Amino acid sequence: MTILSFCFLIFSIFEVVSAQITTQPSEVAAITKLIDYWSLKSKLNLTMDPCTPGAPWAAETANPRVACDCPVNICHITHLKIYALDISGELPQELFELAELMDLNLGQNILSGSIPPEIGNLYNMQYLSLGINNFSGLVPVEFGNLTKLKSLSFSSNNFNGPLPVDLGKLTSLEQLYIDSSGVSRPFPQELSNLKSLHTVWASDNSFTGKLPEFFGSFTNLTTLRLEGTDLKGPIPSSYAALTKLEDLRIGDLSGEDSTLDFLINLTSLSILSLRSSQVNGEIPSQIGTFPNLQSLDLSFNKLTGSIPNSFQDSQSLRFVYLGSNMLTGEIPSNIITPQLRALDVSFNSITGNLPANFAKIGRSLNVVGTLVNGDGLLDGKASEISQCLQSDKKCTEKFPINSFAVKCGGSQQISSDGVKFDDDSETLGASSIYTSSNNNWAVSNMGSFISNPNGPQYTAQTASQITNTLDSELYKTARISPNSLRYYGLGLRNGRYNVELHFSEIQMDDSESWRGLGKRSFDIYVQGERVVQDFNIKKEAGGSKRALVKLFEANVTNTNIDIHFKWAGKGTCCIPVQSTFGPLVSAIHVSQVSNPSGSSNDSKRVGRIVGITIGAVGAMFVTASVFYLWRVKKTPKHILVGTDSPKKKPTV
């Protein structure tokens, strides 16, 4: 080696040593203050430069995570993840000094306050997740400055007001998660610019106006969720262009009726739910031929005609829900395949016999409220009741009863005031009807918790003590449903009845954690009349694991009573785990009113329920000459129905 070469080598080494990579000092100061502000020192102790290569906090699996980009000698923090660590407070100004951030994930915490306008200074942002927090105020118009955004999530928060028109500037946006965010009013027309969108979750918001026609121009869409809003139909014919859709969920519409014609070419669908969407007409036969369709929910609509024969021998269908329509004809004989797990055709004018191989799905076949000969599926009493409910004939009972009580989802129990609650621990499926051993009541369930990490469970339980009651054990189990849960009193003496419904929120807690941010909402119907809308157990009881009793009155005119708990698309979907939503009930007690005035006996009964909040709703009457389920056949919906991160996976 020559002296010249040696000198060049020494100079090069000196250059490398003297040019040690360091993080921008202002960013080091900012991240240090953020760690202090959110009390993260025990989880993120930056003992060296934040952008040190190979640092443990830089790994993709790290949480908290700080990762950098070092284009020249100065590094910049580009990735910050503080996910599900229950950090609280507002967004401090130091956060916006990390001007080179590309990926910010603050999801599943308890951050509050409004989002400062300085969020719009993070021009390089591509992935922004603020979902499942307590943010409030207006959605900032400054989001519109983040034109490089590919994914934006602010679901499950407490915002108010409209979506800002500036979101229409985010033409690179591919994922938009705004479900349960609190926003309202019509979708801004400016959002029609978002042609790159392939995922939209927008359920459980107070959107108004008609379903946006411009969604039909989002031809890259693979997932669209629009349930539990105040939007009106019809479903635009322009949606026929969404041929890449794999998951379509529209529900709870009011306004004009829709048909299913727009679906004919949407052959990529795997999940299709148009529950309670004012859909009329016949079911197109093409739907039965979709090669990937696994879950089909067309319940609570106005569909007519018969079930298409194309549903026979399907190689993909697993869950089929067609209940509460005006379908006629017979169930296709070969509709039950090895793949099918649940079939619900309840409350239709369907006739004939059970399909071949019906025993293969057993309790996951529901034909209650039809004219199908269900003797092989239901016991004699339930089959008789099913036929009686659907037809116009007058039902009588040789040995009528005047009360029944059910411990929903649990074993028999006698309450502190002597009421015997029957065992209701029978395992139900995704479409089930079960009759009690004493033939006094029945229960049916409809719906699928497909993405529940705990599997397809339709009961909930807790070991915790339930407060605000003398009967804690009565509330430690409950029936739950993703869609429709109904209890039927059978063979009752006609007359006026007290309907006592017991609730306690045992799935969602109320802790000072992101796990306490869940909101359950469902509607309650008694004898077809909606008596409570948007019922939130935790809110009304004053917290989780607290007992709540609601008391109603109803008339029995045809020996039966129908108590229906129905999900209307509202409430959070994924707190504390995916598929935590839908109706929940702990116990039911129905008893005939012995005193016609009801005042004396009712007050004594209420007085015995020590420490329990009772919500009493005015008396509801059903005209004796019109049978409830005859009305359902004529009008399939219930009377009075008015209407998180970039890596977030779709759930059902």
What ranges do the domains of the chain cover? 20-200, 403-592
Residue that wins the pLDDT comparison between 386 and 200: 200
Are 111 and 135 a contacting pair, CB within 8 Å?
yes
- Residue 198: pLDDT band by 50, 70, 90 thresholds? very high
Distance of alpha carbon 307 from alpha carbon 352, whole angstroms:
13
One DSSP character per residue, 551-594 reads EEEEEESSS-EEEEEE--S-B-SSSSSTT--S-EE-EEEEEE-S
Nearest to 380 by CA among 490, 488, 486: 490
β pairing state of 484-489 and 561-566: antiparallel
Over range 198-213, report the average pLDDT.
98
Close Cβ partners of 548 (under 8 Å, ≥ 6 residues apart): 468, 502, 503, 504, 537, 540, 541, 612, 613, 615
> Residue 8: pLDDT above 90?
no
Using CA atoms, how far apart are residues 231 and 207, in angstroms rounded to an integer? 6
Cα 200 versus chain centre, distance: 15
Backbone angles phi, psi at 264, to 5 degrees: -55, -35
With 80 as the cut, is the pLDDT of residue 497 above it?
Answer: yes
Query: Tens of pLDDT along 515-542?
Result: 999 999 999 999 999 999 999 999 999 9
Task: Give pLDDT, residue 357.
Answer: 87
pTM of the model: 0.89
Contact, 483 vs 581, CB < 8 A? no
Q: How far apart are CA 172 and CA 167, in angstroms?
A: 11
Cβ-contact 387, 364 below 8 angstroms: no
20-200: what fold? 3.80.10
Per-residue pLDDT of 385-432, as tens digits, reads 666 566 566 778 888 999 999 999 999 999 999 999 999 999 998 999
Phi, psi of 95 (to 5 degrees): -60, -35
Q: What is the DSSP letter of 314?
A: -
Residue 214 amino acid letter: F
Minimal CA–CA distance to 96: which of 81, 116, 76?
116
Taking the CA atoms of 203, 206, 210 and 213 in sequence, report the sign of the dihedral they define: negative
Q: How far apart are alpha carbons 600 and 70 in whole angstroms? A: 79
pLDDT band at 374 (very low <50, low <70, confident <90, very high): confident
Backbone angles phi, psi at 221, to 5 degrees: -60, 130
Residue 363 banded pLDDT, cuts 50, 70, 90: confident
Query: Which 3 state secondary structure label does DSSP give 513?
Result: coil
pLDDT band at 362 (very low <50, low <70, confident <90, very high): confident
Element (H, E) at 3: helix 3-18
Residue written as token pair 């006026």: 496
- Second-level CATH architecture of 403-592: Sandwich (2.60)
First-last CA distance in the chain: 70
Mean of pLDDT over the chain: 88
pLDDT at 481 over 60: yes
pLDDT of res. 14: 34
Q: What is the pLDDT of residue 652?
A: 40
- Please give the pLDDT value at position 623: 32
What is the distance between the alpha carbons of residues 627 and 369, in angstroms, rounded to a whole number?
12
Is the pLDDT at 135 greater than 70, yes or no?
Answer: yes
pLDDT confidence tier of residue 72, bands split at 50, 70 and 90: confident
Over range 158-178, report the average pLDDT: 98
Structure tokens at 411: 């074993």
How does DSSP assign 96-140, residue by residue? GG-TT-SEEE--SSEEEEPPPGGGGG-TT--EEE--SSEEEEEPP
Q: Which amino acid is at 103?
A: D
- Residue 56's alpha-carbon distances to 81, 186, 208, 297, in angstroms, are 13, 46, 48, 47
* Least confident residue range of 10-14, 162-166, 456-460, 476-480: 10-14
Residue 381 pLDDT level (bands cut at 50, 70, 90):
low
Number of helices (H), then strands (E), in the chain: 6, 39
Residue 18 has pLDDT above 50, yes or no: no
Both structure tokens of 293: 């369709």
Q: Note whether 146 and 169 are within 8 A (CB).
A: no
- For the chain, what's the residue count? 652
Q: In this predicted model, what pLDDT tens digit does every residue of 536-589 receive, in sequence order?
A: 999 999 999 999 999 999 999 999 999 999 999 999 999 999 999 999 999 999
